[in-house]
Amino acid sequence: MQQRESIRNIAIIAHVDHGKTTLVDAMLWQSGLFRQNESVPERIMDSIDLEREKGITIMAKNTAITYKGVHINIVDTPGHADFGSEVERTLTLVDGVLLLVDAAEGPLPQTRFVLKKALEAGLPPIVVVNKIDRGDARPAEVLDEIYDLFIDLDAAEDQLDFPVLYTDARAGTATADLKEEGRTLAPLFETILATVPAPSFDPDAGLQFRVAMLDWDDYVGRLIIGRVVNGRVRQADRVTVVHRDGAVEPAKVTVLYGYEGLKRVEVPEASAGDLVAIAGIEAVEIGETVADAENPRALPAIRIDEPTVAMLFSANVSPFAGREGRFVTSPQLRDRLMKEKRVNVGIRVEETESPDTFRVSGRGELQLAILIEMMRREGFETEVGKPEIITRQEDGQTLEPMEHLVVDIPEEYIGAVTQKIGPRRGVMAKLVNHGTGRVRLEYRIPARGLIGYRTEFLTDTRGTGLLNHLFDGWDGWQGDIAHRQNGALVADRAGRTTAYAIDNLQARGVMFVNPGEQVYEGMIVGENSRDNDMDVNITKEKKLTNMRASTADEATKLTPPRLMNLEQCLEWIREDELLEVTPKSLRLRKRQLSGRRRF
């Protein structure tokens, strides 16, 4: 095997919100990629609107810098386990990982998840303790926790001998010793060159290119992004696609792109170790191999963890269908879901008995909620059902997915949290008090016990708690878990809501609508204070008479309605309810709109 010393391929892995994207920003700036006066947005790599709004990385993206004549390809990966399929794919592109850990929070569940994948792949790690400027930073303790985590994950001896750097990504500084203040990221660049091995390849092998990501360009069409493992590829080359089932298909490379900074640049050829994008090959999926035309040999396919949550997507058939969206038919919905399935290997789409309903499975609620939000912004109207966990049968026993739950809360909320997790079948595994007024609780809990809990948790901890969870294998069915305790207030006729009707109904529960909104029969307008559903007339108007009462001029005092976001709506609904999603509105409704059919 030979090595290409002029290239390094590295992935940045971390828990969500530990500063990966900010560190990549600083690396790009200090590599001299931008002019001094160039206008560049913060978190450059978070190019999707949703990523900027939520402050998380959803799609893995790659960039490249040059340091001392060495071309360093950097892949920014998501930190959330729901997007774990992105992490699994990107680790096939690189030869080393940069593990980023918050100097105050320490290793969290997703740190464990992404590090486990990297160690299994045999990649050498560089540990970076970030945010050392925080007032509550505890770098020495966090480093001990990182060593414990490596040992816990059965890291090899050479993987335990990792270099450690301390960074302030926002200021763009790094140092190997806390006693010395960092000035630039040069120590980090030097460590990457010294620790990450150069790509190795077999000089006698033909072309082998593994597809890790798919993209689209308006000018050249579909792009396949991946790494040239062996051989070389040129523009206009004849190649062969080797599918998962072993079938081979001829193809042609029309355009070849390399990476320089944030730009894709056309290159005449690419050799082993390069990360490139190829245009012109349509019939290829993620994980498959583009190989030599004469002697096609496939690389091992990428293995992806099983999905644990499923939801039913259907075309919008409510009385308000077609008012706000551009894509409302079931063929359009089907095409969009199939396109997502091709690009995102973490999602599965299956047909159901109904031609306009599809079963979509993913890693978690958040992944499916992101898909719904993206479709909504593209102009789709859909109706989705309650998220349900996927079970499997083994030896006549029903197994369900379990989660490793880590809760970081102020001491005074321990009682409120444990009281809620108990009925959800959570079993406490660990309790750690850092002595800073905050406590870390660890539980093993069924995945379905977490559906609908996040909102309650934030309320119980007054927004000060941190909740993270990670897939933790399969276990026997844990028994029934109570879902939402309260019933729904359901509109019994179509019309426009009135302040008079809402005022009279406020004693019955919490409202979800403002005065003056259009409603239809079967639409959920509030949460009942009792456990049963109730049909209500929310369009009732005050009868006008020529008699004057002493209370006639009193203003109606209304409590503001509870306005829920997409994730909260998905957590709230029951099996007999649907969430209607349009580009402008989120409406909760009963599956059966007519009151007569429901009762």
- Average pLDDT of the segment spanning 224-228: 84
- Average pLDDT of the segment spanning 57-76: 72
Share of the chain above pLDDT 70, in %: 88
Q: What is the pLDDT of residues 115-154, one digit of tens each?
A: 877 888 888 888 888 888 877 788 888 888 888 888 888 7
* Residue pair 325/380 in contact by the 8 Å Cβ criterion: yes
- Exposed / middle / buried, residue 343 (Cβ in 10 Å: 0-12, 13-18, 19+): middle
pLDDT for the residue 457: 83
Minimum mean pLDDT range among 38-52, 78-92, 564-578: 38-52
pLDDT for the residue 244: 77
pLDDT for the residue 260: 74
Q: How many CA atoms, within 13 angstroms, populate the side-chain half-sphere of residue 371?
A: 32
* Residue pair 138/111 in contact by the 8 Å Cβ criterion: no
Share of the chain above pLDDT 90, in %: 5
Query: Would you state the torsion angle of the CA atoms of residues 406, 412, 415, 417, taken in this order, to the nearest 10 degrees?
Result: -40
pLDDT for the residue 146: 87
Mean pLDDT of the chain: 80
Amino acid at 360: V
Other Cβ atoms closer than 10 A to 9 = 25
* More reliable by pLDDT, 145 or 43: 145
Confidence at 588, pLDDT banded by 50, 70, 90:
very high
The whole-angstrom separation of Cα 252 and Cα 238 is: 5
- Average pLDDT of the segment spanning 553-566: 79
* Residue pair 441/430 in contact by the 8 Å Cβ criterion: yes
SS3 158: helix
Query: Mean pLDDT highest for which of 58-72, 114-128, 459-473, 511-525?
Result: 511-525
Amino acid at 161: D
Confidence at 211, pLDDT banded by 50, 70, 90:
confident
The whole-angstrom separation of Cα 141 and Cα 131 is: 14
The whole-angstrom separation of Cα 106 and Cα 114 is: 14
CA distances to 29, 248, 362, 366 from 169, rounded to whole Å, are: 12, 46, 32, 27
Phi-psi region of 520 (alpha: psi -120 to 50; beta: other; left: phi over 0): beta
Length of the chain equals: 599
Kindly report the pTM of this predicted structure: 0.70
Minimum mean pLDDT range among 19-28, 76-85, 120-129, 199-208: 76-85
pLDDT for the residue 57: 46
CA distances to 104, 275, 302 from 362, rounded to whole Å, are: 31, 28, 17
Q: What is the pLDDT of residues 335-368, one digit of tens each?
A: 888 888 877 777 888 888 888 889 998 877 777 8
Residue labelled with tokens 């960039």: 63
* More reliable by pLDDT, 527 or 152: 527
* Residue pair 145/102 in contact by the 8 Å Cβ criterion: no
Confidence at 168, pLDDT banded by 50, 70, 90:
confident
HEC profile of 550-562: CCCCCCCCCCCCC
| Bridge partners of residue 490, in order along the sequence | 524, 535
- Average pLDDT of the segment spanning 35-62: 47
Amino acid at 310: A
Confidence at 549, pLDDT banded by 50, 70, 90:
low
- Average pLDDT of the segment spanning 155-176: 84
Confidence at 40, pLDDT banded by 50, 70, 90:
very low
Residue 55 has pLDDT above 50, yes or no: no
Amino acid at 30: Q
Other Cβ atoms closer than 10 A to 152 = 12
Residue 577 has pLDDT above 80, yes or no: yes
Residue labelled with tokens 């930073």: 137
Residue labelled with tokens 């045999």: 122
- Average pLDDT of the segment spanning 313-322: 89
Phi-psi region of 44 (alpha: psi -120 to 50; beta: other; left: phi over 0): alpha
Angle, helices 365-378 vs 330-343, to 10°: value is 130
Residue 185 has pLDDT above 50, yes or no: yes
The whole-angstrom separation of Cα 229 and Cα 9 is: 12
Residue 553 has pLDDT above 80, yes or no: no
How many helices, marked H, and strands, marked E, lie in the chain?
A: 15, 37
* Residue pair 266/278 in contact by the 8 Å Cβ criterion: no
Residue 54 has pLDDT above 50, yes or no: no
Contacts 24+ apart (CB under 8 A), 155-162: 155/119, 156/119, 156/122, 158/124, 159/119, 159/124, 159/125, 162/124, 162/125, 162/126, 162/127, 162/195
Residue 517 has pLDDT above 60, yes or no: yes
Cα–Cα nearest to 118, from 147, 77, 80, 82: 77
Residue 295 has pLDDT above 50, yes or no: yes
Query: Would you state the torsion angle of the CA atoms of residues 377, 262, 191, 76, taken in this order, to the nearest 10 degrees?
Result: 10
Cα–Cα nearest to 194, from 254, 126, 281, 144: 126
First to last CA, the chain: 72
pLDDT for the residue 286: 76
* Residue pair 198/5 in contact by the 8 Å Cβ criterion: yes
Task: Quote the DSSP letter at residue 523.
Answer: B
pLDDT for the residue 50: 46
pLDDT for the residue 110: 67
Task: Quote the DSSP letter at residue 506.
Answer: G
pLDDT for the residue 44: 45
Confidence at 383, pLDDT banded by 50, 70, 90:
very high
The whole-angstrom separation of Cα 376 and Cα 511 is: 24
The whole-angstrom separation of Cα 441 and Cα 429 is: 8
pLDDT for the residue 479: 82
Query: Would you state the torsion angle of the CA atoms of residues 246, 348, 48, 92, taken in this order, to the nearest 10 degrees?
Result: -40
Confidence at 32, pLDDT banded by 50, 70, 90:
low
pLDDT for the residue 141: 87
- Average pLDDT of the segment spanning 213-233: 80
pLDDT for the residue 201: 79
Task: Quote the DSSP letter at residue 324.
Answer: S
pLDDT for the residue 496: 92
Confidence at 262, pLDDT banded by 50, 70, 90:
low
Amino acid at 255: V
Other Cβ atoms closer than 10 A to 41 = 9
pLDDT for the residue 579: 92
